[in-house]
């Protein structure tokens, strides 16, 4: 099972499965501070607690936005689930909603080797009941101008700076400085379909943070500009984290969820 593609320097690791990225040097999120964020989990069908491996954001009652690599190489006799309205994934708060996954739609150009077009949408088995603790995410469009220098990020990914993962039960949050493509320093791996944040000894994300939303505040509302894709491992914040650009993929997202 995979988590976040995190590149083992000099290699890459996705922030999902064994690649699941953690929030490094972050702090615990307030209860329902991120009502649009969900935990993607694998139910092993053996009576054990389902395991978190990626995050996602709520597009509407039926659809979740996440990273394409989050659904690669999962095996076993279990199934995917998502949990909304939760901070503590070990002891879910009252009102949390759990759904099975009916369909997983990856971008048709997703490339696991280059980690390009790392974006996907998930159709739920039944609609979520939206309320004050479970809300939809506003997406940046192709015409959105991002003037902010910092963004918000949250996740249940590893909080360890070593190769040994330590996963928190509580949702962790962090503020990340946004980087230009020139600052991204991933040896030509990054292009205009992606966004970079953190790195250079700043705070970072880590394994199992993949698929999570990178947001900025616009007109008093959180707007998603990125989907967590990959970073370095161990998670030492030496290199920026790479996100798929929601601005670039906005039209594809709308088309994918309209096909239902």
Q: Annotated active-site positions, please?
A: 69, 118, 210
Closest CA to 229 of 13, 34, 36: 13
Closest CA to 156 of 143, 142, 166: 166
Q: How far apart are CA 139 and CA 149, in angstroms?
A: 18
In sequence order, what are the beta bridge partners of 172? 28, 155
8 A C-beta contact, residue 155 and residue 143: no
Residue 188 to residues 194, 223, 230: CA-CA distances in angstroms? Answer: 12, 28, 14
Q: E-assigned strands of the chain?
A: 2-8, 13-17, 27-28, 37-43, 51-58, 63-66, 79-84, 97-106, 120-124, 138-139, 150-155, 172-179, 194-197, 213-218, 221-233, 241-245
């Amino acid at each position: 099972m995979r988590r976040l593609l995190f590149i083992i320097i000099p290699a890459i690791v996705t922030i999902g499965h064994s690649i699941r990225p953690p929030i490094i040097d972050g702090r615990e999120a307030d209860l329902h501070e991120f009502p649009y964020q969900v935990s993607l989990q694998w139910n092993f069908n053996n009576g054990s607690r389902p395991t978190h491996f990626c995050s996602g954001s709520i597009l509407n009652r039926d659809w979740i936005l996440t990273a394409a690599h989050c659904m690669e190489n999962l095996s076993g006799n279990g199934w995917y689930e998502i949990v909304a309205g939760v901070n503590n994934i070990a002891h879910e708060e009252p009102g949390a909603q759990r759904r099975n996954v009916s369909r997983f739609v990856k971008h048709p150009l997703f490339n696991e080797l280059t980690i390009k077009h790392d974006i996907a949408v998930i159709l739920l088995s039944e609609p979520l009941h939206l309320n004050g603790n479970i809300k939809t995410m506003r997406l940046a469009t192709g015409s959105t101008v991002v003037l902010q220098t910092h963004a918000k990020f949250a996740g249940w990914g590893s909080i360890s700076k070593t190769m040994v993962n330590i996963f928190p039960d509580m949702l962790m949050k962090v503020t990340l400085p946004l980087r230009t493509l020139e600052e991204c320093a991933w040896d030509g791996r990054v292009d205009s379909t992606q966004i970079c944040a953190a790195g250079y000894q700043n705070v970072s994300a880590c394994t199992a943070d993949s698929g999570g939303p990178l947001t900025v505040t616009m007109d008093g509302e959180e707007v998603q500009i990125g989907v967590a894709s990959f970073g370095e491992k161990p998670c030492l914040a030496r290199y920026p984290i790479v996100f798929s650009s929601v601005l670039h993929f906005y039209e594809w997202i709308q088309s994918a969820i309209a096909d239902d």
